[in-house]
Structure 1
Amino acid sequence: MTTKINGNDLLEVGYTPGKILGIALATAGHLSELSLREVKVLLKKVKDHPENFLNDILWKTLASEIMEEKKIDPEISLKETALPYTLYGAEYIEEGARKQMDIAMRLPVTAAGALMPDAHQGYGLPIGGVLATRNAIIPYGVGVDIGCRMALSIFDISSAYFHENEAKFKRELIAHTRFGAGNGFHGQYKTDHEVLSREEFNLTPFIKKLHDKAYSQLGSSGGGNHFAEWGIIEFEKRDEVLDIEKGSYLALLTHSGSRGLGATLAGHYTRLAKENCKLPAEAANLAYLDLNSEPGQEYWLAMNLAGDYASACHEVIHNKLTKAVGAEVLAKVENHHNFAWRETWNGEEVIVHRKGATPAGKDVMGIIPGSMTAPGFLVRGKGLTNAINSASHGAGRQMSRSKAIKSITKDEMKRVLKAHHVTLIGAGLDEAPMAYKDINLVMEAQKELIDVVAKFTPKMVRMADDGSRED
């Protein structure tokens, strides 16, 4: 019996035109003793599970080509023992975050790690986790909100003037900010910025399609814990670097990231990483991309584009509000988290992932917020090696969002706001101050990592009012 199989038969079982289809036809020519149906069933098995046919004399060529095209690799083993890492404020860190960090320290590409005192469980790398890898980047080690950051503008306006004109500051804060998943600006309200002309938007058709979304959301903020707030910043002594005298000043503090652009990029490259890097189930969300590979290089460029876009969003917000209140900016400080950097650690070039951690290299400035009623801190890094030049990015949650909603009432939240003389615009119970750790304890736990330059006290806080999460 001669089996007559053609290209259309192979298309029916999932093959596509090209080199592999030709190899499949040639291989099928050696199966004359089988029926057409049997050959098609066998060819489909090879296509779906080529790894099972790599040692078969007849099928290994076809199986190898399919493996190469799909970039299917055998499961990558974790190290039997986790590398040691340093915890700061261990008594404040939940077990789930530690377990996630333990798994991250068993990756074959891991060089070093550290866990900050605001750490809590996330996806893949815990929030508050710092991980240094060798020539590999982990999309979920960066996080969904790529390049999320803090930005602080300090103005030549006194606290007295702010309190005398709170209605004006509230009006302008509402007028020049947009919050929540999917929200942005349209028509004449859209703002242009040089970041929108970046060549990386033409890197791939997929990224190019995100340009319009990026344009409409430029200058807006996400949901969840993202905010824009007026507050009073106090310097107990003159700061020579910022050239600011001792005293109290009005400041604008914002927290947000790369909006829909970053979230879409994160989802896309996480899927690619999981397809290319087969890890055991407990480590699946730590799938990484080799920086020498095309997907790895793409993600690196896309991540940096998203980070610069997030910075542009803050720049637009700060420029609008500075102009609206007629202020002069005395100093600006900005730092990001949810990012990966090329850095030298112990004499070796590594990729440092800071998922919810503030860069704190020697003399590097950063902002560590508390909650809507707790103070934030302007800090200067000490460059501690064990912490991989990092510090916390906030107080950190002590309640999940669902638990906060179930256990905190609106009246309780109102009482806390009133006691701290804070005006709140938007926000849900999931962002209530009680849902967060005590920022003072967190700062004490990391005093060897940073020096405090000034204290910021929130006075008027704007957040998403639709209950949406971060983009």
Structure 2
Amino acid sequence: MGRTHNLTGKDLRRIGYPEGKVISIALQVMQQHFKHSKPSEALELLEKVRENPGDYLKNPTLGKIAAELVPKPKAGPDEIPLSESRKEYTVFGADHIETGAINQMEIAMRLPVATAGALMPDAHQGYGLPIGGVLATENAVIPYGVGVDIGCRMCLTLYDLPEHRLYSETSRLKNILQRETLFGAGREFPKPMDDEVLARKEFKEIPLLRGLHAKAVRQIGSSGSGNHFVEFGVVEITDEKNGFAVPPGRYLALLSHSGSRGLGASIADHFTKVAMYRTPLPREAKHLAWLDLDSADGQEYWACMNLAGDYASACHHQIHRKVGRALGENPIALVENHHNFAWKEQHEGRELIVHRKGATPAGKGVLGIIPGSMTHPGFIVRGRGEPTSLDSAAHGAGRRMSRAAAKNSITWNQVNDVLKHNGITLLGGGLDEAPMVYKDINQVMAFQRDLVDVVGTFTPKIVRMDDK
């Protein structure tokens, strides 16, 4: 049996431990209290302490390590005041957006780095920037303006198969979704597929990412909980000039929604804490702390964010490859887009950092997907490049009811009646994602007629979500 006294500082740095006395303290603690553990077990435990040091502060043995990893209360920059007046921004569908989301956008537009903004018609309250909020800054990136699920995205593949296969082969399609997908916070594949994104140099060059690589490997191709889904449905292409060379008609299709899993969440958590230290803001705006892109921290977050976005895309591609292989079909078209991300874009002749937290890119000619709910259609759209929306559109129907309210007011009998009425087969899911918790997607689309053109629809039929 191996012993932990064989661990070295190099081993700890490899899993993301920072330089400093924390390494010597960790080695000493492991030698004193865990010397009969295998090195692999000791490293796994040390990685858990590094990821969540606050959980171990009161641990009689690991507390010493955790104390060194928790950010120390120390004298830092003075609190940065918000501007007295806010920058102007456009609200789409204002009468149907809750006050909390409006208030959050008002605060965001008073940030000293804010230059422009917009609020989409599916907006609702979140943390920091509201869901559905679009915020442009100059040379600054806001980790919580991107969100926790970095690169959360939609991905749609069309197959040259008639829609009746959804009804004549329902059992087979259900089995494919259950066999080829994995849902849930923390869920991992015992034998994950390899992917070129896992070999990216950032995983070796950035200490934080080195410590997250193993988890990223185990979770590649999986989906999260909440509103994440993979579903079979019917796509109807209505526009001959749709932008992806598919003739008008009805097709069997697969639509997925999820993001960058534990990788993105850990990146968001780490850099939000860094941003809060670097640019402390008044309490009501603290989650909008930013990182200057000329700083080392800003550059590192930008690299991590882009990697997480590419990782999210790779997860979707793996899901669609596996499902396509099980179907025995190659897709004839693919459409995808991020909606929790920050982009460097040109607006009014200058480069801005455009954060879209729950908003779809809708630059002129850009294709995207705006889902409805499990009982209402989603839309394949082509952006119109509307300046007042910062080339953005809604990312879905938007919640009209909180998760807690849904669980307290909706019953499974009600949900099952709605699903049966609409001919939907649901695998997994929870009351907090019931169809009735969402706004009317058709009304949302009506509010953004100037932002996107509809080129097709997606109607879900077999929906796979996290098992509650």
Does the pair score TM above 0.5? yes
Distance 2:243 2:228 in 1: 28
* Mapped pair 1:102 → 2:106: yes
8 Å contact kept, 1:228–1:255: yes
In structure 2, the residue matched to 1:440 is: 442
Letter matched to residue 113 of structure 2? V
In structure 1, the residue matched to 2:91 is: 87
Distance 1:161 1:193 in 2: 31
Letter matched to residue 91 of structure 2? L
Letter matched to residue 414 of structure 1? N
Offset from partner CA, 1:134-168 (integer Å, 9 cap, x none): 10000000000000000000000110122111111
8 Å contact kept, 1:130–1:355: yes
Pick the aligned partner of 1:381 from 380, 383, 389.
383
* Mapped pair 1:310 → 2:325: no
Distance 1:240 1:229 in 2: 22
Pick the aligned partner of 2:453 from 451, 454, 457.
451
Letter matched to residue 247 of structure 1? G
* Mapped pair 1:162 → 2:166: yes
In structure 1, the residue matched to 2:68 is: none
In structure 2, the residue matched to 1:42 is: none
Distance 2:115 2:466 in 1: 38
8 Å contact kept, 1:335–1:359: yes
Return the offset for 1:245: 1.5
* Mapped pair 1:206 → 2:181: no
Return the offset for 1:236: 2.5
Return the offset for 1:328: 2.6
Pick the aligned partner of 2:221 from 219, 223, 226.
219
Q: CA separation of 1:163/1:343 partners in 2, compared to 1, >3 Å: closer, same or farther? A: same
8 Å contact kept, 1:428–1:465: yes
Return the offset for 1:266: 0.4
Return the offset for 1:242: 1.5
Calculate the aligned-residue CA RMSD, in Å.
1.3
SS in 2 for 1:74: coil
8 Å contact kept, 2:148–2:265: yes
Tell me how many residue pairs correspond in the alignment. Answer: 398
Pick the aligned partner of 1:114 from 102, 115, 118.
118
Return the offset for 1:203: 2.8
In structure 2, the residue matched to 1:249 is: 251
Letter matched to residue 327 of structure 1? E
SS in 2 for 1:159: coil
SS in 2 for 1:464: strand
Offset from partner CA, 1:301-345 (integer Å, 9 cap, x none): 000000000000000000000111012311100100110000011
Distance 1:406 1:366 in 2: 34
User: 1:280-359 maps to which residues of 2 (within 5 A)?
Assistant: 280-359=282-361
8 Å contact kept, 1:237–1:247: no
Letter matched to residue 188 of structure 2? G
Offset from partner CA, 1:199-223 (integer Å, 9 cap, x none): 1112332220100000000000000
In structure 1, the residue matched to 2:192 is: 190
In structure 2, the residue matched to 1:146 is: 150
Return the offset for 1:237: 4.2
Return the offset for 1:411: 0.2
Letter matched to residue 120 of structure 2? M
Distance 2:263 2:257 in 1: 16
Offset from partner CA, 1:435-471 (integer Å, 9 cap, x none): 00000000000010000000110000000012xxxxx
Letter matched to residue 295 of structure 2? S
Letter matched to residue 367 of structure 1? I
8 Å contact kept, 1:71–1:276: no
Q: Identity rate of aligned residues, in percent?
A: 58
Structure 2 gaps, min length 5: 1-19, 22-72
Offset from partner CA, 1:182-214 (integer Å, 9 cap, x none): 01201xx31000000001112332220100000
In structure 1, the residue matched to 2:27 is: none
8 Å contact kept, 1:426–1:465: yes
SS in 1 for 2:466: coil
Distance 1:171 1:291 in 2: 47
Q: CA separation of 1:239/1:218 partners in 2, compared to 1, >3 Å: closer, same or farther? A: same
In structure 2, the residue matched to 1:57 is: none
8 Å contact kept, 2:156–2:255: yes
Distance 2:410 2:457 in 1: 27
Which structure has the larger Rg over C-alpha atoms?
1
Distance 2:239 2:84 in 1: 51
8 Å contact kept, 1:149–1:310: yes
* More off after superposition, 231-240 vs 197-206: 231-240
8 Å contact kept, 1:239–1:246: no
TM-score by length of 1: 0.83
Return the offset for 1:240: 5.3
8 Å contact kept, 1:228–1:252: yes
Distance 2:443 2:168 in 1: 33
Offset from partner CA, 1:388-428 (integer Å, 9 cap, x none): 00000000000000000111100000000001000000000
Distance 2:402 2:375 in 1: 18
Offset from partner CA, 1:44-86 (integer Å, 9 cap, x none): xxxxxxxxxxxxxxxxxxxxxxxxx978211111110111100
* More off after superposition, 156-165 vs 219-228: 156-165
* Mapped pair 1:394 → 2:396: yes
Distance 1:123 1:440 in 2: 26
SS in 2 for 1:234: strand
8 Å contact kept, 1:149–1:311: yes
Structure 1 gaps, min length 5: 1-15, 18-68, 467-471
In structure 1, the residue matched to 2:268 is: 266
Return the offset for 1:179: 0.3
